[in-house]
């Protein structure tokens, strides 16, 4: 069913004569589904070649032989496959994934996947930490590498078999900022006029900055008081419907009045002099400092909206649909607990304990009354 051999090749002698010589490396030959396969053992040891042939024969017999493509698959091939997957599925984070693969390519570029070991992963982590990369950044890169391996394993025939396990680092740098209502009001007073409607919408809806700045009037229904985000316009590519509260409804209605009067050709809901708002980081930071809340990010509004929805009694499933969170783990990170929440919880626990204490006291009082009543009755009953 198989054989071990050394390949022969022709070489030219010193006098120009051509002769056939035998190579030093052992090769093996075997069959799968009637197809002849020849494979180099990369060894000059015949005993090693015998073991490899036995291994391959056993894999073929059990239907477990993945093919030679597995041993030839390179990191660069897997990286290209992942980028193609992002393009085919029209994923918006393709720019981000390109950046991640560029960092990985510095360490793994040109490598065969079967040669990447756990020690290589550890060395990569240490290198990135030496580069002052955060655990979060390193985890995004490791997740991209793991995604490459998984896509390779899903191919038919597979390009990856038994990839090295990748364990992510602990992240302690998760952003926990949010706006209290007083913070929101203070910032609203000092923010440039064209950015105030954006702040109001972000605070009440939790929409992403990109979603807000690209929102157009066909997506707004002032009759029913709602915003409709179509598939493909959101990060998750899923449609969302957001109903407008009183303050937000009035804000968008005023935006339409200004647009109809001054900028009738502007299709955007939020604009500056009839043009798209592109970059306002400097104005934002200046206003936050003036409002006494330096360091706040626009994305903190998203956390605030999630927190406010949950605290107001909206179910978490509904809140996730409004905010556009597709996974529970990410939603839980946005559901921030503040000192006031903890203080309120302590108060509720104290009130509960008070009620339980009061209940026990009433129960004891009742028991005392019953016991006393029983003693009096016993005294009244004559003895025989």
What kind and span of H or E run contains 32?
strand 18-32
Residue 284 to residue 294: CA distance in whole angstroms: 10
- Enumerate residues 6+ apart whose C-beta is below 8 A from 138: 125, 128, 129, 169
Q: Is 198 exposed, middle or buried (0-12, 13-18, 19+ CB in 10 A)?
A: buried
- Closest among 97, 98, 6 to 45, alpha carbons compared: 6
Stretch 352-364: mean pLDDT, rounded?
Answer: 72
Q: Tell me the pLDDT band of 108, cut-offs 50, 70 and 90.
A: very high
Instruction: Tell me if 114 sits within 8 A of 70, measured CB to CB.
Output: yes
- Enumerate residues 6+ apart whose C-beta is below 8 A from 25: 6, 7, 40, 41, 42, 43, 44
Helix axis angle for 135-154 and 118-130, nearest 10°, is 150
Residue 346 confidence (pLDDT) above 60: no
Question: Which range in 99-103, 142-146, 167-171, 207-211 is most confidently predicted, on average pLDDT?
Answer: 142-146
Residue 349 confidence (pLDDT) above 60: no
Stretch 171-186: mean pLDDT, rounded?
Answer: 79
Residue 212 confidence (pLDDT) above 50: yes
- Closest among 252, 248, 222, 223 to 322, alpha carbons compared: 248
CB atoms within 10 A of CB 40: 15
Sheet holding 220-221, edge to edge: 220-221, 226-229, 240-243
Instruction: Tell me if 196 sits within 8 A of 185, measured CB to CB.
Output: no
Stretch 214-227: mean pLDDT, rounded?
Answer: 93
**Structure confidence by residue, pLDDT tens digits, 255-312:** 999 999 999 999 999 999 999 998 899 999 999 999 999 989 998 888 888 778 777 7
pLDDT cut 70: percent of the chain above it? 82
CA separation, residue 173 to residues 90, 161, 294, 336 (Å): 30, 34, 18, 14
Characterize the bridge pairing of strands 2-12 and 18-32. antiparallel
pLDDT at 41: 86
Residue 140 to residue 124: CA distance in whole angstroms: 13
Residue 35 to residue 172: CA distance in whole angstroms: 54
Instruction: Tell me if 206 sits within 8 A of 306, measured CB to CB.
Output: yes
Residue 116 to residue 61: CA distance in whole angstroms: 28
Helix axis angle for 281-290 and 181-190, nearest 10°, is 120
What kind and span of H or E run contains 11?
strand 2-12
Task: State the chain's maximal CA–CA distance in angstroms.
Answer: 143
CB atoms within 10 A of CB 305: 23
pLDDT at 330: 46
pLDDT at 193: 96
Give the residue with greater pLDDT, 105 vs 380. Answer: 105
Tokens 């316009």 belong to residue? 233
Residue 378 to residue 374: CA distance in whole angstroms: 6
Q: What is the pTM of this model?
A: 0.53
Alpha carbon 27 to its chain centroid, in Å, reads 46
CATH number for the domain running over 181-334: 1.10.443.10
Instruction: Tell me if 20 sits within 8 A of 8, measured CB to CB.
Output: yes
Q: Tell me the pLDDT band of 381, cut-offs 50, 70 and 90.
A: low
DSSP string, 163-188: PPP-PPPP----------HHHHHHHH
Give the residue with greater pLDDT, 216 vs 158. Answer: 216
pLDDT at 72: 83
Q: Tell me the pLDDT band of 157, cut-offs 50, 70 and 90.
A: confident
Tokens of 378: 């016993």
């Amino acid at each position: 069913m198989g054989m071990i051999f050394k390949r022969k090749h022709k070489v030219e002698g010193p006098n120009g004569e051509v002769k056939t010589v035998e190579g030093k490396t052992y090769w093996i030959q075997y069959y799968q589904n009637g197809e002849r396969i020849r494979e180099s053992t990369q060894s000059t040891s015949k005993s090693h070649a015998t073991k490899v042939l036995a291994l391959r024969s056993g894999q073929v017999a059990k239907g477990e032989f993945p093919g030679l493509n597995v041993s030839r698959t390179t990191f660069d091939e897997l990286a290209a496959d992942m980028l193609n997957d992002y393009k085919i599925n029209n994923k918006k984070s393709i720019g981000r994934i390109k950046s991640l693969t560029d960092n990985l390519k510095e360490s793994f570029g040109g490598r065969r996947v079967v040669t990447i070991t756990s020690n290589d992963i550890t060395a990569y982590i240490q290198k990135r930490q030496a580069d002052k990369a955060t655990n979060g950044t390193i985890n995004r890169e490791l997740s991209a590498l793991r995604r490459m391996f998984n896509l390779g394993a899903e191919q038919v025939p597979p390009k990856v078999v038994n990839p090295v396990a990748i364990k992510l680092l602990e992240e302690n740098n998760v952003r926990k900022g949010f706006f209290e209502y007083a913070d929101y009001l203070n910032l609203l007073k000092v923010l440039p006029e064209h950015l105030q409607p954006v702040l109001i919408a972000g605070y009440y809806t939790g929409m992403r900055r990109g979603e807000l700045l690209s929102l157009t009037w066909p997506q707004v229904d002032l009759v029913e008081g709602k915003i409709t985000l179509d598939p493909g316009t959101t990060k998750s590519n899923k449609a969302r419907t957001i109903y407008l509260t009183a303050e937000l409804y009035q804000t968008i209605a005023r935006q339409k009045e200004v647009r109809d009067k001054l900028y009738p050709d502007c299709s955007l809901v939020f604009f500056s002099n009839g043009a798209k708002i592109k970059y306002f980081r400097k104005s934002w930071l200046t206003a936050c400092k003036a409002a006494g809340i330096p360091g706040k990010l626009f994305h903190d509004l998203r956390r605030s909206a999630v927190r406010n929805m949950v605290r107001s009694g909206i179910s978490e499933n509904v809140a996730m649909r409004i905010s556009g969170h597709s996974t529970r783990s990410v939603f839980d990170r946005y559901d921030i607990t503040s000192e006031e929440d903890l203080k309120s919880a302590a108060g509720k626990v104290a009130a509960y304990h008070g009620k339980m204490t009061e209940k026990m006291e009433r129960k004891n009082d009742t028991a005392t009354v019953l016991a006393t009543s029983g003693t009096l009755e016993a005294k009244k009953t004559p003895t025989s």
